[in-house]
Amino acid sequence: MIPVNTPKLLLLDRNVVALIKDAVAGREITGTKKLKWLEMLSKLDISINYISPLLSIIEGEHGRDDSAHEKIICQNKESDVLRRFFKNAIVDSDYLDTTSGAIGSIFTTYREEQWNARENFFKAATPLVAQKVAVDKRREVEKDLIHVAKTAGLEADDGLVVLFLACLHGSNDARRVIKPTKPVAYNVLNDLHVISRVGFIKGIVKQAGVQMKVRFVTFDEGLEQVLLNIKMENIKLTNEGGVKYASSLFARAVSRSRSRRIYFPTDKTHELVEK
């Protein structure tokens, strides 16, 4: 648990901003989950918290690559609703407003280095896990996934490949993130790149010597569970650092397996799921 009096930088996911938009617009909010989420958001509205829609803006509103103009419109909307919703927390809306032109340019010109390779892998790999695979067939599908990854230019321990391996071995959380029966590469890659984006921001905070916890706030329960099992270590601005995948990412699959181990094609991944 984070102590209540510890300052936090809270980076909001697109689904969180969407709910805030509905609340600010005066739309009726129904459903137990949404009402609970609104209550949680109101508890975050305290003076020591810093709140930003930056990751939501990077993803954009349309489920695809935005134009620079669309990105600026998105930024203006989301800065405005956060300013109106949070009365006590510090939001970066004013700062984002003054840099909207740069935001529109930067986040439509640049994206993660491995994006194209991961997109190619995603499109080729989703048919392999679209239906749940029987335990005795998984070893063969593992080999196919690794082959597809190498063809796309990815290592076997790349975050997206590991996510597919977890899905293959029965992780419902990984399956909920990938959604292989209705695959949308853009959405999944944005979810995956939350890891490096949050890690980079943590690096900035750490280098600045600021005593602050950085947290990603999402209502996507599958994504949240996956992210809880992934950790970036030794974060530096010049280097993303190492990524560690907890064995619990595969825990449900391991517990259902008749054997005590699930074997993966790389020693590094194999060690993560050893019981």
Residue 99 has pLDDT above 60, yes or no: yes
Q: Please spell the DSSP secondary structure of 35-60, one letter per residue.
A: HHHHHHHHHH-STTEEEE-HHHHHH-
Contact, 58 vs 179, CB < 8 A?
no
For residue 98, what is the enclosing H or E element?
A: helix 93-98
Instruction: Please say whether the beta carbons of 228 and 212 come within 8 A.
Output: no
Taking the C-alpha atoms of residue 174 and residue 60, their distance in angstroms, rounded to an integer, is: 23
- For residue 115, the 8-state DSSP code is H
Predicted local confidence at residue 272, as pLDDT: 37
In 3D space, the residue among 85, 16, 24, 91 whose CA is nearest the CA of residue 56 turns out to be 16
Nearest to 196 by CA among 56, 17, 65, 55: 55
User: Quick one: 5 exposed, middle or buried, by C-beta within 10 A (0-12, 13-18, 19+)?
Assistant: exposed
Q: Which residues of 19-33 are buried (b: 16+ CB within 10 A; e: fewer)?
A: bbbebeeeeeeeeee
pLDDT digits (tens, 9 = 90+) for 183-231: 999 999 998 888 888 888 888 888 888 888 899 999 988 888 888 877 6
Contact 52, 92 (CB under 8 A): yes
- The residue whose two tokens read 């990815």 is 154
Higher-confidence position of 3 and 118: 118
Least confident of 16-20, 74-78, 210-214: 210-214
Nearest C-alpha neighbor of 138 from the set 267, 260, 257: 257
Residue 263 scores a pLDDT above 70: no
- Torsions phi, psi of 90, nearest 5? -90, 120
pTM given for the model: 0.79
pLDDT at 9 over 60: yes
State the DSSP code for 239.
B
pLDDT for position 177: 92
DSSP 263: -
What length is written for the chain? 275
